[in-house]
Amino acid sequence: MDATFPKLETASPPDARARFVELRGYLSNQIIGQQALVERLLVTLLADGHLLVEGPPGLAKTRAVKALAHALEGDFHRVQFTPDMLPADLTGSEIYRPEEGTFRFQRGPLFHNLILADEINRAPAKVQSALLEAMAERQISVGAATYRLPPLFLVMATQNPIEQEGTFPLPEAQIDRFMLHVAVDYPDRATTLQIMSLARREAIEAREFVPPKHRLTQESIFIARREVLGLTLAESVAEYIAALVEATRRPEAYSNELKAWLRWGVSPRAAISMERCARALAWLDGRDFVTPEDVQRIAPDALRHRLLLDYGAQARGLTAQACVEELLRRVPAP
């Protein structure tokens, strides 16, 4: 049986796209002023990936994944990463049972469907290594045993770019496992007023979230993923994705500026991420084909965290976002 798409029941479920449209509306009402975050969260869910969210405190990063978990059929667990964490705090460990005289494996928080890895850059290397195996292989290893994770498994990690004390930069190999990197910023004044109103209403009603009309089933998610993979992707659009990736590795073919900015290009996972996420965007928009505009919409979030800038470019204050924008200007779209 396919580990990604488990065998489904023969009964025909409700239209998957309609359910996702309903879910997007629900999340937009619960996460005010962060439409990009809501969309990228749904795209990551459809593309069977993981999401890295970066922004100052208080911008609904934690609330977003909690609201998604509230509207899905599945288990949710929040893990607060700290410098004194051990891998067993994520994976679980062998617990001795004196009444039986044996060891029994006690599963850790990674065995849930949705994982919120809060302030992921506060954990040391051994913990990051355990999380990397879970994200990459959908399994964990404890001693000589290997345990499979649930078919529906999504990690949303958050980073606080302000605080640097007690943090550990994520290794490039792990950053590459995140399908998308979303940067969130402060809302405007009108949105802040809406947030205040929502917080007051929730306090009066003594509940954190308004219950959704329907909970999205895992069956609907797996069906939606199959529909996304079945969308039409023209050869010219596929070549456009490949050209964007190639431009990060051979920037001299497009611009001397790009050559001076980039120290290292992106991996093939970047191409896979752009293709899968562009399909998901098209599907959410109600189309059965992918356009170059879909690729351009998702490219910054798929490439930003995978690019390594030259030290000189960093010293001049250039950012990965500016580099991606230059790539999109230089690489011709079909």
**The domain that contains 309 carries what CATH number?**
1.10.8.80
The Cα–Cα gap between 319 and 308 comes to 10
User: Do both 62 and 199 map to the same domain?
Assistant: yes
User: Do both 20 and 130 map to the same domain?
Assistant: yes
Q: List the one residue out of 250, 293, 295, 289 whose CA is nearest residue 272.
A: 295
Other CB atoms within a 10 A radius of the CB of residue 143 amount to 9
The Cα–Cα gap between 323 and 262 comes to 8
Strand 180-183: give its sheet, edge to edge: 76-80, 114-118, 154-159, 51-54, 180-183
Q: Of 183, 218, 253, which residue constitutes the final position of a domain? A: 218
List of residues 6+ apart from 74 with CB closer than 8 A: 112, 113, 114, 150, 152, 218
Return the half-sphere exposure (C-beta side, CA atoms, 13 A cut-off) of residue 157.
Answer: 24
Per-residue pLDDT of the chain (334 residues; tens, 9 = 90+): 333 434 333 333 558 888 999 999 999 998 998 899 999 999 999 999 999 998 888 888 888 988 998 899 888 999 999 888 999 999 998 888 888 878 888 899 999 999 999 988 888 888 888 888 899 899 988 878 889 999 999 999 988 777 666 567 787 878 889 999 999 889 899 999 998 998 898 888 878 878 788 889 999 999 999 999 999 999 999 999 999 999 999 888 888 778 888 888 898 999 999 999 999 999 999 999 999 999 999 999 999 999 888 887 777 878 888 888 989 999 999 8
The Cα–Cα gap between 326 and 187 comes to 26
Q: Of 160, 187, 218, which residue constitutes the final position of a domain? A: 218
The Cα–Cα gap between 125 and 131 comes to 10
User: Do both 115 and 41 map to the same domain?
Assistant: yes
**The domain containing residue 159 runs over which residues?**
16-218
What total of structural domains would you count in the chain? 2
The Cα–Cα gap between 188 and 139 comes to 42
Other CB atoms within a 10 A radius of the CB of residue 110 amount to 25
User: Do both 301 and 174 map to the same domain?
Assistant: no
Q: What are phi and psi of 105, to 5 degrees?
A: -75, 125
The Cα–Cα gap between 5 and 143 comes to 28
DSSP H or E run through 271: helix 268-284
